Structure 1
């Protein structure tokens, strides 16, 4: 088989179809944006299509995507601007989003049928830029790459600056763009995904020192590896059957919490194998705050509105706590932050000391060599996997190739009731993690 290659044929900056008015030229970031690292968050959607790349119809599809993108950028005008780090605002002067068009010499099925390691190593080629290329004055806040496969399939690779976008914001953008890309744009559906940039107004920036970690601009040479572990619905049901639920209300943990607990337990045991000195195992879970404030913020409120729930297991307890114990610790950490944040977010005088504490705790832990620290985030229940640009829903979705370690990202599987967990570790611990009996028992 010939070498699989992706060739970039076009690269340009896409501006909003309607110029951003002068009164919107300065977009101040929010308190929550301040805490976020200058890093791109990658998302790639893969679609089958009946069109062939060399036909005029396929060219028309790409032209239509460009047109719909410029209209979408009119609504999401900060994403066409540039972040001014020393003043903590976005200059919304329509500098443009990066747009790259590419073709392959292979079919989408050829890529999807690769071994998971080869597939993972190719992910960065579907992205328009490196994940770490963010935060400088010339860096676009949104970059997009459209890749056409030999069979007519399409991959849409996107990089969103985490400084101004969380997954809820990314989801709103993707669905908005997809609706505009369809032959008959549904105006009522579009209205549901029209953004409002109100978070910075309700939670203005505080001018605090930027403590977020500095991310290398290139992942080249970084020693880490990633694997996607698939947990199907029947395996998750089987996992639930091993647990006892004593909640009087009959509450059962979500599929995400079950998988987080299973992964954390396995990771803690791997760390114990590799540490000469016992270390505590610490885990942070991202928490979407839109439904924690009273009144709730709409799901299309754009900007970062997230925090983190931090859970900890002491080294002497790693072998004595079972899966149910890990799950209980996780649930308690989430309940605590929800309780603390509900009051702090709703108070007429925002309790910024309370809001800041999870971020300070996170920064302390990532700099602490005496603990094993993991960051988890979940993209489950977001609707981007249903985004229809004219070819139906995506046949697969992926993140990109991260250069960091000790990071887990979870998404719904193709059926919607399972979980795909993207685990990033060094090669030695990844090998040990794959041998964990629970991981082997519940993954495909």
Structure 2
């Protein structure tokens, strides 16, 4: 990827195709939105063999304009406050058209990904940007390859959406594009538009403006690497992590336990804590659908007491038990509670607040874990077929682990961001090597 370079052809704003109704000119954030991290969630989808790139660019723009009519918060901006998004008839979303230089194919990028390069070249925005015109909530970059492939990079403000909502938006947008090619824009009939339940269930509160997570000490910098678990490895790992008297563990539980175990082995003398994001939609009573828009997640902490594992490495089945114990607490009552942790400004269960306070005293190591498994990234078809690879290139000032599906829907890719020193140990862990392939 050393020869890879991308040329920007154009940048423009995509406005909604219809005027904003009066009731949609102001979108009030929920309390969960208010406490969300100020950052962009970033997605790149790679499509092979897309004919007539310029025509496809026009299709993406038209369908995006139509999609913004129903996902109207993505066309708005924050105007002097962080509790509401103002309607965007004249603001809109950002759209960038780009092309890869000669000699580099889509296959070259997918087979040997450089995550720093992916972030720099295929995503339109790197960090939250502010200015007199407000903050862009959505930015898209469509990049064409000389071989006919296309990369669609999407940056979504985490302030108004979580991973589920971002995926729902992208799938809806793709469906509009695909249906337009078949039926024409005047005959679209797309089911399941988004619903906006968050502000009703979690009304906004008078809290201080949210801020990025504290800059945890990561030594000489961070590095992100990908670890792939195929179907056979996952089956073996699940068997190893399952107790005889317990139900079979899921692939997410098994892989999370393995990651946790590897992190413990980095420095067994220190306490390790995982912060795991939970989708609340199906945990409410009555449940919400995945079309419910916004940040509808909470984070649970899974601590390991230092005396229990001092100098040792726990069994995977025990880590699965701890994982389940924390996750099963997230029921309807838990989901509706609104406790804010003032240090990192995130929603946490009240008993965990003191645990987080100890983070500032460097008394334990904190890791953030998110699973996007089962989210339909590989179903996002703009009318030219499904993507052959989806990824979320990220760099972070804090350690983070992200689980996503492979294209077959069975395997799992795990992106791990650690300090360079920790990664040198982590990627050579013998148990990790026994179950995964580093790519």
* TM-score (norm. length: structure 1): 0.88
Measured after TM superposition, the shift of residue 322 of structure 1 is 1.3
2:343 corresponds to: none
Which residue in 1 is equivalent to 2:270?
279
Return the alpha-carbon distance in structure 1 between the equivalents of residues 203 and 255 of structure 2: 35
Q: Does 2:36 correspond to 1:26? A: no
Q: Spell out the pairing of 1:213-224 with structure 2 (5 A cutoff).
A: 213=212, 223-224=221-222
Does residue 328 in structure 1 map to residue 321 in structure 2? Answer: yes
Distance 2:235 2:78 in 1: 45
C-alpha displacement at 1:132, in angstroms?
A: 4.2
Aligned-CA RMSD value = 2.6
- Classify the secondary structure of the residue corresponding to 1:184: helix
- Indicate yes or no: 2:229 matched with 1:231: yes
Could you tell me which residue of structure 1 aligns to residue 295 of structure 2?
304
Query: Superposed, which structure 2 residues align to 1:158-307 within 5 Å?
Result: 158-182=154-178, 183-184=181-182, 190-192=190-192, 194-210=193-209, 212-213=211-212, 223-247=221-245, 251-272=247-268, 278-307=269-298
Q: Measure the CA separation in 2 of the matches of 1:402 and 1:152.
A: 29
Against the structure 1 CA distance between its residues 424 and 189, is the aligned structure 2 distance closer, same or farther, given a 3 Å change threshold? farther
Q: Give me the whole-angstrom Cα distance separating, in 2, the residues matched to 1:181 and 1:162.
A: 24
The DSSP-based 3-state class of the residue aligned with 1:23 is: helix
**CA offsets 1:11-49 (integer angstroms, 9 cap, x no match):** 111111112123221111001101101100001100002
Pair 1:111–1:400, CA change in 2 (3 A): same
Deviation at 1:112, TM superposition (A): 1.7
Runs (5+) with no aligned partner, structure 1: 52-56, 273-277
**Residue 2 (structure 1) shift:** 8.2
Which string of whole-angstrom CA distances, capped at 9 and with x for unpartnered residues, describes residues 362-384 of structure 1? 85365341110001001100112
* Residue of structure 2 in register with 1:125 after alignment: 121
The alpha-carbon distance between structure 1 residues 170 and 136, as it changes in their structure 2 partners (threshold 3 A), is: farther
Counting matched residue pairs gives 418
Deviation at 1:168, TM superposition (A): 1.1
- Distance in 1 (CA, whole Å) between partners of 2:410 and 2:398 is 27
**How many angstroms does 1:353 deviate by?**
4.5
Q: Which residue of 2 aligns with 1:275?
A: none
Q: Structure 2 vs 1, CA of residues 92 and 324 (structure 1 numbering), >3 Å: closer, same or farther?
A: same
Asked if residue 343 in structure 1 is aligned to residue 339 in structure 2, the reply is no
Compared CA separation, residues 173 and 87, structure 1 to 2 (3 A): closer
State how far apart, in whole Å, the 2-side matches of 1:177 and 1:329 are.
39
The verdict on how the C-alpha distance between 1:317 and 1:136 changes in structure 2, with shifts beyond 3 A counting, is farther
C-alpha contact (below 8 Å) 1:131/1:402 kept by paired residues = no
Describe the shift of the 1:227–1:210 C-alpha distance in structure 2 as closer, same or farther (beyond 3 A). same
CA distance in 2, matches of 1:215, 1:77: 31
Pairwise CA distance, 1:259? 0.4
Question: What is the correspondence of 1:57-96 to structure 2 with a 5 Å cutoff?
Answer: 57-84=52-79, 86-94=81-89, 95-96=91-92
| Alpha-carbon distance in 2 for matches of 1:87, 1:441 | 47
Aligned-pair distance for 1:196?
A: 1.2
